[in-house]
Structure 1
Amino acid sequence: MVGSVDATSVRIDAGRGGRITSLRHAGVEWLSSTTGPSGEPAIMLSGWDEIAPSIAPAHTDSGRRTASHGDLVRAAWTAGDDGWLVAAFSSLHGTFARRATVTSDRIRLDYRIATDDDEALLWAAHPILDWHAGTEIVIEGAEESAWIRVDDPGRPVTAAALRRAVRDLDPSASGKYFLPAEARPSAALVRRTDGRVLRLRWDPDLVPHLGLWLDHGSWGGAPVFAIEPTTGWGDSLDEARAAGRIMRVRPGEPRTWWIEIDVPKEEP
């Protein structure tokens, strides 16, 4: 499935968990195509996956166990009405839907979740980008907030230190980070050394949290990173629910949100 307007295009593979396999603008591919040991693109290495109802294995409110990286990456997505792609959850009774709309310099992703029961749900976008020396990441709405590293939460990492580590391609920076729950960022801008810019924007009232994953090549051999807007704080549905930092979906009350991906040719 391909959507294209002028120099902007998006390619989606509904048969591979609804993965966005390509996001191009003006001849530039933004999503990584890093492959796993088998040579095939894999979760956490390439493209853009949708992760829900948890990143880490956890339990839904009904007590069912979720797999690592959730249900959607293993689900069969089908075409619905008005351009929506729809997938059914396997660990709860409900559906996830996404629609991509392409214009000349923007891709908008609209999301919708509906459930038959009252459910806590942790969704995270998982766009994988190649990590090159000189890459800059700027978080709008929380520019100077310190980051919490999941494997060392007692020692926050300053915004300046993380920006420097990303720019210098520092192997020791590999890991998963979250902004504090109260930070409420609204956008993330990625700037390449050639002046190209990618900007992800969302409504922090609908998507209040943000994760950042850096990998210097331990998974696929090439450095990659992911900017992960999310509806729950942390990787675990169980922990986010216990902390009250999670989206809830109730029967007859679908939850909706969006991400806009701006792809200007050069830095404004």
Structure 2
Amino acid sequence: MPSPAEITLQSDALLLRCTPAQGFSIASLVDRISGAEAFWQRPGHTPASCSRVLGPAGEASSETFVDLFAGGWFEMFPEVGYTQPGDPASLVHGEVVRLPWEVVSTDAEHVEARVACVRRPLTLTRRLTLDGARLHVAERIENVGAAPAPYTWGHHPCFSRTTFAGGRIELEAAAATVPEPWFQPESATLAFGDFDWPHAPARETSAAAHPGGAGPAPVATTPAHGAAPPAATFDLSQLPVRADGRHDHACLTMGSGSFRLIAPDAGPAGRALRIDFDRERFPYALLWQNFGAGDGFPFWGAADTFAIEFSTMPGRSTPDALAAGAVSQLHPGEVVETSFTVGWEAV
């Protein structure tokens, strides 16, 4: 059947909107108990229409991605993050967010859709099902071609800072690092290097690191007797009460297959969004924070979001994945399946 622009699913506890014709993103997941909205949507932006004309590969694909990027939760496949120079099949965040998906079946509680990649012989099928207070997501990738094809795979949920303002991120990280280079140097607050989650090293303590003087105040840790002087750090698990102008990345190796986001002002006692995923399949995550950074292209200061992008690869790019040996091969006829759940719950 043709791809509808939007499909709505609902249960007593959840209201979900998704966009099969526009990369099959999950545009909205509302907690019907408190009215809290999980995801950020890009304000004032009418996205370019998805089509099976992908446009140029490589660095130029950043601009075409931004044209269609509307926020919500989108899939990254068959590539995660930035591109591999010189590869005509390499596109920022992959193909499937750029493509209209074919709806296979739908009713009041589920929608299943499928998409075939254009530049690799790979397909992805995803089924969203509401079961009371939980969203169940089942996914299947397959090589329908005659030769092995490389892939990385991940998820990019753009959470609403406004919903979770003053709350916290609850997750376990086995390792964490701030990658080089800064994506937007004038708005970066973190220093490069490894750290113990959630206390990331501050780039500096001057107002230059916090545009407009609005950034969070670094916290100096107390050293053991005889240790070096303390370095200022940021607690990345704490979500700011207002957009403070920062734009940062942190690469995480996940210590468990779940995390929670606390929304203290949702309902009378606060609510939590919980995501449980397949850590064996997706052992890494990229924390992205853009809280009103910059006043020009691409977001013109309107980004107010953060993401915990769980994926099959460390780092931010296909070269990072290649260096880590984290680019997988899917052989002809081979199928890989995974599933995860999302839902609102009491704090």
Q: TM-score range by the shorter chain?
A: 0.7 to 0.9
Query: Root-mean-square deviation (CA), in Å?
Result: 2.6
- Give the match for residue 67 of structure 1: 91
The 1:206/1:157 distance shift into structure 2, 3 A limit, reads same
Task: Identify unmatched segments of 5+ residues in structure 1.
Answer: none
Deviation at 1:123, TM superposition (A): 1.5
CA distance in 2, matches of 1:168, 1:105: 24
Task: Confirm or deny that 1:58 pairs with 2:72.
Answer: no
Task: Confirm or deny that 1:228 pairs with 2:254.
Answer: no
- Give the match for residue 213 of structure 1: 288
- Give the match for residue 154 of structure 2: 124
Deviation at 1:98, TM superposition (A): 0.9
The 1:208/1:247 distance shift into structure 2, 3 A limit, reads farther
CA distance in 1, matches of 2:248, 2:175: 15
Question: What secondary structure does 1:199 align onto?
Answer: strand
- TM-score, normalised to structure 1, is 0.85
Please tell me the residue identity of whatever aligns with 1:167: Q
CA distance in 1, matches of 2:329, 2:275: 24
Deviation at 1:64, TM superposition (A): 3.1
Post-superposition Cα deviations, 1:182-231, rounded to whole Å, max 9, x if no partner, equal x4431111001222100111121122211211111233524210111111
| Contact in 2 for aligned 1:45/1:128 (Cα 8 Å) | no
The partner residue of 1:101 within 109, 113, 129 is 129
The 1:184/1:92 distance shift into structure 2, 3 A limit, reads farther
| Contact in 2 for aligned 1:127/1:228 (Cα 8 Å) | yes
Task: Confirm or deny that 1:33 pairs with 2:41.
Answer: yes
- Give the match for residue 199 of structure 2: 161
CA distance in 2, matches of 1:84, 1:168: 34
- Give the match for residue 259 of structure 1: 340
The 1:105/1:126 distance shift into structure 2, 3 A limit, reads same
The partner residue of 1:204 within 276, 279, 292 is 279
The partner residue of 1:174 within 247, 269, 284 is 247
CA distance in 2, matches of 1:154, 1:24: 36
Post-superposition Cα deviations, 1:138-183, rounded to whole Å, max 9, x if no partner, equal 114x3xx442122368522331325724526384752222114xx4
Please tell me the residue identity of whatever aligns with 2:153: W
CA distance in 2, matches of 1:185, 1:246: 22
CA distance in 1, matches of 2:236, 2:47: 29
Post-superposition Cα deviations, 1:82-106, rounded to whole Å, max 9, x if no partner, equal 8421111122111111110111111
CA distance in 2, matches of 1:45, 1:227: 17
| Contact in 2 for aligned 1:57/1:65 (Cα 8 Å) | no
Question: What secondary structure does 1:238 align onto?
Answer: helix
**Aligned length in residues:** 258
The 1:53/1:207 distance shift into structure 2, 3 A limit, reads same
More strand by share: 1
CA distance in 1, matches of 2:94, 2:287: 18
| Contact in 1 for aligned 2:47/2:70 (Cα 8 Å) | no
CA distance in 2, matches of 1:32, 1:230: 20
Q: Which has the higher contact order (CA 8 A, sep 6+)?
A: 1
Please tell me the residue identity of whatever aligns with 1:111: E
The partner residue of 2:101 within 77, 81, 84 is 77
The 1:106/1:113 distance shift into structure 2, 3 A limit, reads same
Question: What secondary structure does 2:279 align onto?
Answer: coil
Q: Which has the larger radius of gyration?
A: 2
Question: What secondary structure does 2:39 align onto?
Answer: coil
CA distance in 1, matches of 2:154, 2:291: 21
- TM-score, normalised to structure 2, is 0.67
The 1:222/1:75 distance shift into structure 2, 3 A limit, reads closer
| Contact in 1 for aligned 2:198/2:237 (Cα 8 Å) | no
- Give the match for residue 47 of structure 1: 72
Deviation at 1:236, TM superposition (A): 1.9
The 1:168/1:48 distance shift into structure 2, 3 A limit, reads closer
Please tell me the residue identity of whatever aligns with 2:178: R
CA distance in 2, matches of 1:59, 1:122: 16
Question: What secondary structure does 1:113 align onto?
Answer: strand
CA distance in 2, matches of 1:249, 1:105: 34
Task: Confirm or deny that 1:5 pairs with 2:11.
Answer: yes
Question: What secondary structure does 1:73 align onto?
Answer: helix
